[in-house]
């Protein structure tokens, strides 16, 4: 049985004992990075700087929510507006692994700058066990390179601190509850953000579409769950497909986009089952997406695959 208190106490002791100077952490607001930040902050106080990078690839309202959360947890933090930089790095890149690498590298460059400015000697990361397993070793067994694993240039000169490296998601959640990290409305969210839910080349415009579609899916499924119509899936979101199909909007032919609804049941993200969504909820989501997006989206589909053979995200 996982003992959250013993785990947290142990990690605070270890970090307090090894981290001699300042440390920086990339805090996305996801449960992994917030738990790692709170543990490190309890160990070294304001010698830790949590940097939230606003990549322009985050969910609706997320930056504001993360700001409030970090303030409430008493973590020393900074919000960095880097959207233009990220869209610049992603220009012309459509292949999923290339996108992940470009985002990972841009992250590193941002941290490098912030770390230098802060005078950090250590980099704290919220890497968890499935990230390492799925990223594979020496290219073997690679499913997708989770962006908080690998690619950290040695010349950065920062020593890595990864307090959650042996934990699975459900254990991280237990630690979060113990630390008072508010997690009720939060679901797992990939490091590369909405970029992996927007298939093909990413632009500010396409990210805007998938951000709104994700918000609608989250909103309707939460409402249905609160009303007792369905249980809350482990993860539920929308992805934007890189194909166009013919439709009709205001009696005019449109050649619009397709949004896919994805909802899964899982314990740790390593395997997943497609979650059942009542048909009337699916129809409501579809109507809202097509109504609220004007002529930009004219088709909505539902992904019924499990993991394996699919993965949870589409890229
Ligand atoms: P996949 O798509 O690999 O996702 O089945 C498994 C779980 O991991 C999340 N995910 C990520 N999390 N960095 C992360 O921290 C990433 O690069 C990343 N990619 C996927 C995904 O949302 C799901 O919960």
For residue 272, which atom of ligand 1 is closest to its CA?
A: 5
* Distance from residue 48's CA to the centre of ligand 1 (Å): 26
Is the CB of 147 inside a 6 Å radius of any atom of ligand 1? yes
Q: What is the pLDDT of residues 230-261, one digit of tens each?
A: 999 999 999 999 999 999 999 999 999 999 99
Position 150 scores a pLDDT of 47
Contact status, residue 287 vs residue 240, Cβ threshold 8 Å: no
Token pair, residue 233, equals: 């899936």
Return the C-alpha torsion angle 152, 111, 312, 259, nearest 10.
Answer: -130
CA nearest 41: which of 122, 148, 127? 122
Q: What is the pLDDT of residues 32-80, one digit of tens each?
A: 999 999 999 999 999 999 999 999 999 999 999 999 999 999 999 999 9
Contacts of 42 (CB under 8 A, 6+ apart): 8, 12
Q: Which residue owns the Cα nearest ligand 1 atom 13?
A: 191
Q: Is 22 helix (H, G, I), strand (E, B) or coil?
A: strand
Q: What is the pLDDT of residues 163-213, one digit of tens each?
A: 999 999 899 999 999 999 987 566 888 989 999 999 999 999 999 999 999
For residue 146, which atom of ligand 1 is closest to its CA?
A: 17
Q: Taking the model in full, what pTM does it have?
A: 0.84
Token pair, residue 259, equals: 């949004």
As a whole number, mean pLDDT of residues 275-295 equals 97
Q: Which residue owns the Cα nearest ligand 1 atom 18?
A: 190
Q: What is the pLDDT of residues 78-137, one digit of tens each?
A: 999 999 999 999 999 999 999 999 999 998 898 889 999 999 999 999 999 988 776 665
Range list of β-strands (E), the chain = 22-26, 48-54, 77-81, 120-124, 159-161, 235-249, 252-265, 273-274, 297-302
The more confidently predicted of residues 225 and 182 is 225
């Amino acid at each position: 049985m996982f003992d959250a208190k013993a785990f947290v106490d142990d990690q605070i002791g270890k970090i307090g004992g090894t981290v001699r100077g300042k440390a920086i952490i990339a805090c996305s607001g996801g449960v992994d990075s917030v738990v790692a930040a709170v543990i490190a902050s309890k160990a070294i106080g304001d010698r830790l700087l949590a940097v939230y990078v606003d990549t322009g690839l985050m969910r609706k309202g997320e930056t504001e929510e993360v700001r409030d959360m970090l303030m409430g947890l008493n973590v020393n933090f900074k919000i960095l507006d880097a959207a233009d930089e990220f869209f610049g790095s992603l220009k012309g890149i459509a292949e999923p692994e290339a996108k992940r690498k470009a985002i990972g590298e841009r992250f590193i460059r941002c941290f490098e700058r912030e770390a230098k400015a802060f005078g950090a000697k250590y980099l704290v990361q919220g890497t968890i066990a499935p990230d390492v397993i799925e990223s594979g070793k020496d290219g073997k067994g690679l499913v997708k390179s989770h962006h908080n694993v690998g690619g950290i240039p040695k010349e950065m000169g920062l020593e890595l601190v990864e307090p959650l490296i042996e934990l699975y998601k459900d254990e991280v959640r237990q630690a979060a509850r113990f630390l008072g990290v508010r997690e009720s409305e939060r679901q797992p969210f990939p490091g590369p953000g909405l970029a992996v839910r927007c298939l093909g080349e990413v632009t500010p415009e396409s990210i805007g579409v998938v951000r709104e579609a994700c918000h609608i899916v989250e909103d309707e499924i939460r409402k249905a769950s609160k009303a007792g119509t369905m249980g809350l899936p482990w993860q539920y979101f929308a992805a934007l497909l890189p194909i166009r199909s013919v439709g009709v909007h205001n009696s005019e032919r449109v050649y619009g986009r397709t949004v896919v609804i994805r909802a899964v049941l899982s314990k740790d993200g390593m395997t997943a089952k497609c979650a059942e969504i009542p048909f009337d909820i699916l129809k409501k989501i579809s109507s809202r997406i097509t109504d609220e997006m004007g002529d930009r989206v004219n088709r909505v589909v539902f992904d019924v695959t499990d993991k394996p053979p699919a993965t949870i995200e589409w890229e």
